Amino acid sequence: MIDTFYGLMRRQGITRRSFLKYCSLTAASLGFGPAYAQQIARALETKPRMPVVWLHGLECTCCTESFIRSAHPLAKDVILSMISLDFDDTIMAAAGDQAIAALEDTITKYKGNYILAVEGNPPLNEDGMFCMPRGKPFVEKLKHVAKDCKAIVAWGSCASWGCVQAAKPNPTQAVPIDKVITDKPIVKVPGCPPIAEVMSAVVTFIAAFDRIPELDRQGRPKMFYSQRVHDKCYRRPHFDAGQFVEQWDDFGARAGYCLYKVGCKGPTTYNACSSTRWNESLSFPIGSGHGCFGCSEPDFWDKGSFYDRLTNIKAFGVEANADQVGAVVGGLAGAAIVAHAAVGAIQRAATRSKTNAVAPTTKAGGE
């Protein structure tokens, strides 16, 4: 618990010399001359922590729960040292009138300079009263707080796309933030929830660099959402080799084969799960045997069953469904026979797996 970014770095054992070096590098990376390093250093030493107001609409609080899982930086350090979380229903001490007073105080005092983080979304049906904190439509509160903010961070798939309450038939007419706030920069951080370290990285990036990160056309930070889960998946070689889990807990499941045939949406999902991973890079859905169901993609609830196979995956510029992709890749490698061998191995393994024992060493790789 200290008051500036510099203080935080010092507490983490970073020397003043290293701190100044960091400032020089930052200045250089932003394209500024060495003179700016001094300015950056002074800003980080003396600048008040960035005020953040965190609102909750229709949601399940999974984004907050994910955020507090952040390990680098620790959620504690983000909340108490890097930003000033002046309003957040979920963790703040004050309630009722005192909570609202804290909110109003911040948005007045830091007019134009606070960040609005939104978890969940506003429903528009029933005059907005399907979400009515303080007896008023949430959408009004959202507009009121958004009016003087510097930028908005839309946490999770609710705020970014609509998510589960907006799945068909969307009884409350819940809408993403950008449908009701159109005059502010919005950083979408989708996922249900987003990865903890992705969330803390977005917040600390804004705090440290005083700008929002580079976004793609859909408003997502490129640094985490520009590649598909499939692109960096450690099971990808099995996909390319045509080695698939055919059924839950079969030989392929126990050998870590590709989950495409049991519905994995990794090939069409843009997220950092297979690279940054979850809970201190410990695992991700595919790593624990379940396919990705694309929770960071718009309308992922309405794209058929999570266990339906994707069709029409694009890979290597080849328009082919994935059943053929393994063969295609095998062919490119000049060994079409590999795919055949692999399929044979899967079939053998599938038979063996019925005994519920892990099959002995097999030439499943087709080496």
Residue 319, H or E segment: strand 318-319
Q: Which is nearer to another protein, 165 or 269 (CB)?
A: 165
Which residue, among 48, 176, 159, 178, has the nearest Cα to 113 in the 3D structure?
48
Smallest gap, in angstroms, from Cβ of residue 33 to another protein? 31
> Least CB distance from residue 314 to another protein, whole Å?
25
Token code pair at residue 362: 């097999």
34 vs 48 by CB, closer to another protein: 48
What's the full length of the chain, in residues? 367
CA angle 85, 88, 91 (to 5 degrees): 95
* CB 356 to another protein: min, Å: 4
CB of 208 to another protein, least distance (A): 17
Query: Residue holding tokens 């930003």?
Result: 83
User: Token digits for 85?
Assistant: 């979380």
Give which of 261, 263, 239 is closest to 350, Cα–Cα: 261
Query: Would you say 209 or 234 has its CB closer to another protein?
Result: 234
Instruction: Specify the residue, 100 or 336, whose C-beta has the smaller distance to another protein.
Output: 100
Which one, 29 or 355, has the nearer CB to another protein? Answer: 355
Q: What is the DSSP string of 44-78?
A: HHHSPPEEEEEEE-B--SHHHHHHTT-BTTBHHHI
Provide the CA 44 distance to its chain's centre, in angstroms.
27
Provide the minimum distance between the beta carbon of 191 and another protein in the complex, in angstroms, as a whole number. 10
Q: Least distance to another protein from the beta carbon of 214, Å?
A: 26
Cα-Cα end-to-end distance for the chain: 56
User: Closest distance between another protein and the C-beta of residue 217, in Å?
Assistant: 26
Q: Which tokens belong to 10?
A: 């010092």
Which of residues 248 and 316 has its CB atom nearest to another protein in the complex? 248
State the Cα–Cα distance between residues 163 and 216, nearest whole angstrom.
20
The Cα 221–Cα 213 span in angstroms is: 6
Q: Which is nearer to another protein, 37 or 278 (CB)?
A: 278
> Hey, how many other C-beta atoms are within 10 angstroms of the C-beta on 138?
23
